[in-house]
Amino acid sequence: MKRTLVFLAVVGLMASVALADKIKIEKLDDLPRYTYKIDQKIVDFLKDDAAIKMLASEVKRDILSDLEKYEISDKSTLQGMYANLGTIAMIEGDWQRYLELVNLRIELEDKEAARHTTAMIGRAIAKTQLKGQENYDKNLDAEVRAMLANMPYDVVEANVKGQKGGAEMASEAVMIGGLEASLQPTLDKSNGEMSQDNATSLLSPFFALRYYIPKKEIFIAALTDYINANQVVKEDIWAERNVDLEPGEKYKPAVLAVWDSGVDWNIFAPKKQMWTNTKEKPDNGIDDDKNGFVDDVHGIAWDLHSNKETSLLYPIEGAKLGDEAQMRRWMKGMGDVGSAIESDEATEVKKHIASLKQEDVQPFIEMIGLYGNYCHGTHVAGIAAAGNPFARIVGARITFDYHLIPELPTIEQATKDANALVETIDYFKKNGVRAVNMSWGGSLRSIEDALEANNAGGTPEERKALARTIYTIGDTAFKSAIENAPGILFITSAGNSNLDNAFAEFYPSSYDLPNIISIGAVDQAGEETSFTSFGKVDIYGNGFEVLSYVPGGTEMKLNGTSMSSPQVLNLAGKLLAMKPDLTTKQLRDLIINGAEERKAGDRTVKLMNPKKSIELLQKS
C-alpha cells in the first residue's frame, strides 16, 4: 500500500509540472517514431527471456521519455502507453507496479463496463503472484471469482463474455502463428528492424504464453460460473423505436447509395428496392449511356486498384473458401465472439481456432477476411432498405484487401484511389442520390504501417512523411468531393477501434462537415459497446446482432458500427420518402434532434430514435 501511494504521488507530481514545459500533442501522428531490432526469428525470440527483457527496457525508456516530454490529452493514447508499461512491468516481474499502471488506465476510462473489466485477468494474476507460488491455482481462482463478484453483471456482461470467448480460443499455436504470418515477413525484409507498435506486439505474448494460456481453464471455469449464475436478458429498446413505411402510401422513391464492398442486387431488385439505370442495357459490355461506366444498371464497381469493374459483388469464384455455408457460420461466430455473444456459431469457431496449427492460422484469417468483405455490403444494404418499400439502392463497390500483409502504398495508387472517390461521388450527384452510407474507413497510421510491412519509405521519419503525403492525396480529394456534394448526406461508421477517431485521423468518420454524420454503436439496451470508437461521433445506433442479408439471400446477425451506420441511412431514406424536398441540413437535423441523450463517463452520447425523428417531421 505504501509503495502504491508513493508511486501515484510521483505520477501526480510529474503531471503537475507546468504544461508550458511540455510539447502539446494535437494528433497521434505528432508523437515521435522509434525503431528497435532483434536478430532472431519470432518463434525463437518469444522463448528467449534475456532478449525479451532487453527489448522491453528499450521500449520502456522511450515511452517514459514521451510521457515526460509531451502533453498528451488523448485518453486512449495514454491508456495504450500505460498498458505497454504494464506489460513491461510484468516482464520485469514488478507485479505491484503493474497494478499501479492498471489503476492509471482505469482512471482514464469513460466506458463504465471497461472501468470494471480492464485488465481483469492481469490483475488477478498480479495479485496471485504477489502472494507467492504456494497454492497458486487456488489463489488465482479465488482472485478471479472475488473480482467478478464485485461487478454489476448488467453492466459488464458483454465484456465478461468476451473474456471467456478469448480464453476459449487462446492457444500458443494461434498466438505464435498469427505473429509469424503478420510480422515475420516484415522483419525478414527489414533485417529485424521494427517500429514501437510492432515491438510491443512482440512483448505482449510474454504474459499470455507464460501466465495466461497455461492457466486459462481456471479463468474459463470462473467466468462460466459467473455468467451462468446471472443470465440477465437486457431489454431491447429498438423495436419500439422503429417505424416501417407501408406500400401504397403516397410517398416518393428515395435514392440511397450503399458505398461498400458490393451488393447482391438479386435480393433487392425483386422487391423493387434497387435503383435502375434505364439508359443502360444489362450485360452487353457496352457503355450505352456514355457516362464512363459499362453495364452500370444498378450501380458501379471498382477493383482493389481502382480500376472500373462491372460486377457489383466481389467475384469469389475460384477463391479457396471451401464450403460457403461453413464460411457463413465461421464468420458469424467470429463476429459473435468479438461482440461477446453466445451462439452455436461462436462455440463452433472457438473450438476450430483453438485447434489450429501454427501454419493454418494465416490461411484461416485471410479466408474469413475475404468472405467477410464479400458479405459486408449486402448486409449493409439490407439494413438500409428494411421496412422501406420506397428505398432505391444504388450500389457502389469499393474493393478491400484481405491479406495480413497489405499491399505497398504508393503515391501513384493513392492518386488513382482519390480519383475513384471523386468520380463515385460525382456519379451519386448525377443520379439523384440523397444519402449514402460508408461503413468503412482508413487512417494515416494504417498507411504508415503498410509501408513498414513492406520495408518501404526509408527511415522512420521519411516513412512518416511519405505516409502523410499519401494520406493527404486521398484525404484532400475526399473532403473536397463531399463538400462539393451539398445535396447528399454522407453517413459513416465511427469505427470499431475503441479510440478517438479525430485524434487518430480516421477518415471519413473524423470529418467535420455540414453534410456528413458519424455513427457509433450501442447494444440492444442502448449502452455503448466496448468496441465503438468515439471522438467525432454525432449519433449512435444499434450495433448488436443486427439481422440482414448476405449474398444469396440467407439472413444473418452481425455486429459493429458497420451495422449501426446503415440504420441511420434507413431512417434518412424514410424521411426522404415522406418529404423528398428536405434539404441536407433539415434531414441531418431531424435525425440528430430526434435522438435522446445519455451519459458515457465524461461524454454525452445521442441515441437515434426513428419514431421521434419522424414525429418531428410530421410536426414541421
Same-domain check for residues 57 and 196: yes
The answer to whether 121 touches 144, Cβ cutoff 8 Å, is: yes
Rg (CA), the chain: 25
Is residue 318 pLDDT above 70, yes or no? Answer: no
Phi, psi of 580 (to 5 degrees): -65, -20
Alpha-carbon distance of 482 to 494, in angstroms, equals: 17
- Asked if residue 355 belongs to a domain, the reply is no
Q: Where residue 410 sits, what CATH number does that domain have?
A: 3.40.50.200
Note whether 309 and 179 are same-domain residues.
Answer: no
Q: What is the pLDDT of residue 338?
A: 63
Q: Decide: residue 520, CB within 10 A, 0-12 exposed, 13-18 middle, 19+ buried.
A: buried
Task: Please give the residue range of the domain that contains residue 431.
Answer: 254-316+377-619
Tell me the C-alpha distance between 595 and 537, whole Å. 13
Please compute the mean of the pLDDT values over residues 253-271 and round it to a whole number.
96
How many angstroms separate the CA atoms of 298 and 300, rounded? 7
Q: Which amino acid is at 57?
A: S
Count other Cβ atoms within 10 Å, centred on residue 52: 19
What are the phi and psi torsion angles at 512 (to 5°)? -110, 85
Environment class of 96 (CB within 10 Å of its CB; exposed 0-12, middle 13-18, buried 19+): middle
Cell digits for 461? 521519419
- Supply 587's cell numbers: 434531414
Which residue, chain included where needed, has cell 518469444?
46
Closest-CA residue to 217 (of 326, 102, 121, 105): 121
215 shares its domain with 261: no
Q: Rounded to the nearest 5 degrees, what angle is found at the Cα of 211, between the Cα atoms of 208 and 216?
A: 80
**For residue 320, what pLDDT is reported?**
61
Regarding whether 262 and 226 lie in a shared domain, the answer is no
Kindly indicate the confidence band of residue 13, based on its pLDDT and cuts at 50, 70 and 90. Answer: very low
101 with 198, same domain?
Answer: yes
pLDDT (tens digit, 9 = 90+) per residue, 157-180? Answer: 888 988 888 898 899 998 999 999
| Maximum distance among all Cα pairs of the chain, rounded to whole angstroms | 80
What residue type is 590 in one-letter code? L
pLDDT higher than threshold 60 for residue 16: no
Side-chain-facing half-sphere of 558: CA atoms under 13 Å: 28
Q: Are residues 297 and 151 in the same domain?
A: no
CA–CA distances in Å: residue 577 to residues 249, 263, 516, 582, 586: 10, 22, 20, 10, 14
Q: Are residues 48 and 175 in the same domain?
A: yes
518 in a domain, yes or no?
Answer: yes
Nearest partner of 241 among 540, 580, 589, 550, judged by Cα: 540
Q: Is residue 349 part of a domain?
A: no
Whether residue 248 is contained in a domain is answered as no
Same domain, 397 and 281: yes
If asked whether residues 491 and 557 sit together in one domain, one would say yes
274 has which bridge partners?
393
In this structure, are 261 and 224 located in the same domain?
no
Residue 173, judged by CB atoms within 10 A of its CB (0-12, 13-18, 19+), counts as middle
**For residues 417, 422, 425 and 431, what is the CA-based torsion angle, rounded to 10 degrees?**
-110
Residue 45 has pLDDT above 60, yes or no: yes
Structure-model confidence comparison of residues 375 and 338, the more confident one:
375
Identify whether the C-beta of residue 492 lies closer than 8 Å to the C-beta of residue 478: no
Enter the pTM of the model. 0.86
Q: What is the mean pLDDT of the chain?
A: 91
Q: Assess whether pLDDT exceeds 80 at residue 80.
A: yes
Question: 371 Cβ partners below 8 Å, 6+ apart?
Answer: 316, 321, 324, 327, 328, 330, 331
Q: Please provide the DSSP assignment of 125-177 as one string.
A: HHHHHHH-STTHHHHHHHHHHHHHHTS-HHHHHHHHHHHHHHHHH--HHHHHH
pLDDT at 20: 55
Verify cis geometry, omega within 30 degrees of 0, for the bond prior to 32: no
340 belongs to a structural domain? no
Of 531, 465, 467, 469, nearest to 497 by C-alpha is 531
User: Which pLDDT tens digit goes with each residue over 489-530?
Assistant: 999 998 888 778 888 888 999 999 999 999 999 988 888 888
pLDDT above 60 for 402: yes
Residue 436 lies in a domain: yes
SS3 readout for 281-338: CCCCCCCCCCCCCCCCCCEEEECCCCCEECCCECCCCCCCCCCHHHHHHHHHHHHHHH
Nearby residues of 144 by Cβ (< 8 Å), 6 or more positions away: 120, 121, 124, 218, 219, 222, 223
> What residues are paired with 258 via a beta bridge?
395, 437
Q: Distances from the Cα of 275 to the Cαs of 271, 286, 299, 388, 450, in angstroms?
A: 11, 19, 8, 13, 37
For residue 15, pLDDT over 80 is answered with no
Q: Angle at Cα 197 formed by Cα 191 and Cα 200, nearest 5°?
A: 90
Output the pLDDT for position 569.
98
Angle, helices 136-149/216-230, rounded to nearest 10 degrees: 30
pLDDT at 527: 84
Q: What is the pLDDT of residue 317?
A: 66
Give residue 5's pLDDT.
44
pLDDT score, position 322: 63
**Pair 218, 268 in one domain:** no
Name 496's Cβ contacts closer than 8 Å, sequence gap at least 6.
521, 531, 532, 533, 560, 561, 562
pLDDT digits (tens, 9 = 90+) for 454-494: 999 999 999 999 999 999 999 999 999 999 999 999 999 98
Q: How many CB atoms lie within 10 A of CB 530?
A: 20
Is 240 a member of any domain? no
Among all chains, which residue has been given the C-alpha cell 458469424?
332
Q: Reduce the DSSP state of residue 241 to 3 states and report it.
A: helix
36 shares a domain with 124: yes
Type of residue at 90: M
pLDDT interval class at 361 (50, 70, 90): confident
- Buried-state track 249-277, b at ≥16 Cβ within 10 A, e below 16: eebebbbbbbbbbbbbbebbeeeebbbeb
Report the pLDDT averaged over residues 391-403. Answer: 95
Structural domain includes residue 301: yes
Contact 73, 231 (CB under 8 A): no
Average pLDDT (251-270) is 96
Q: Which of 65-79, 185-199, 232-246 shows the lowest per-residue confidence on average (mean pLDDT)?
A: 232-246
Give how many domains the chain has, as a whole number.
Answer: 2
Mean pLDDT, range 285-295, rounded to an integer: 95
